[in-house]
Amino acid sequence: MNMSNKQTGFTLIEMMIVVAIMAIMSAMLAPTLFNQVSKAEKARTASDIRQIESALKFYRLDNYRYPTQSQGLQALIAAPSGSEATSWNGPYLETVPKDAWKQDYRYANPGTHGKPVEVYTLGADNTQGGTDSNADWGSWNVNE
């Protein structure tokens, strides 16, 4: 009687080597993945800002001026009260979109970067300044 007591399977060392290889590969791919997400956020932000700017231009064509700071971007959706928008012919947008980080876009009239009005977002951290996804993105730099 020849009884074989040999077991098949992976040893603990082999499993640890496989896990280590997977961790190294993940670490190498993570920056590429995060970079693609950041590019998508920037592209969406640029598209939204251009769309809002276009709506602001149509508003200006009808009303001979941009919405005031107090009227804000809501003037693109519903007619502002008062005599400042008597030729309002909107809505110029169905809704004002949220930025890629689920924050409201901001509006400045007058603009501070050489444009009459500006639409911008403060980025992922929702505070002024920052870099990468925390950077401020606005009508003055959407093409960068």
Minimum mean pLDDT range among 38-47, 53-62, 70-79: 38-47
Beta bridge partners of 121: 137
How confident is the model at residue 136, as a pLDDT? 81
pLDDT at 50 over 80: yes
Say which residue the tokens 């670490």 belong to: 27
What pLDDT is stored for residue 118 in this prediction?
A: 94
Q: Residue 39 has which token pair?
A: 């590019």
Mean pLDDT of 128-142: 79
Helical segments of the chain, H only: 12-63
pLDDT grade for 137, boundaries at 50, 70 and 90: confident
pLDDT higher than 60, residue 1: no
Cα four-point dihedral sign 42, 96, 124, 106: positive
CB 67 within 8 A of CB 75: yes
Strands 118-121 and 106-108: antiparallel
pLDDT of residue 5: 63
As a whole number, mean pLDDT of residues 128-137 equals 78
Domains of the chain with bracketed CATH: 13-138 (3.30.700.10)
- Other Cβ atoms less than 10 A from the Cβ of 119: the count is 25
Local confidence band at 144 (pLDDT 50, 70, 90 cut-offs):
low
- Bond from prior residue into 91 cis (ω within 30 degrees of 0): yes
pLDDT tens per residue across span 70-111: 999 999 999 888 767 778 888 999 999 999 889 999 999 998
| Whether pLDDT at 34 is above 70 | no
pLDDT cut 70: percent of the chain above it: 89
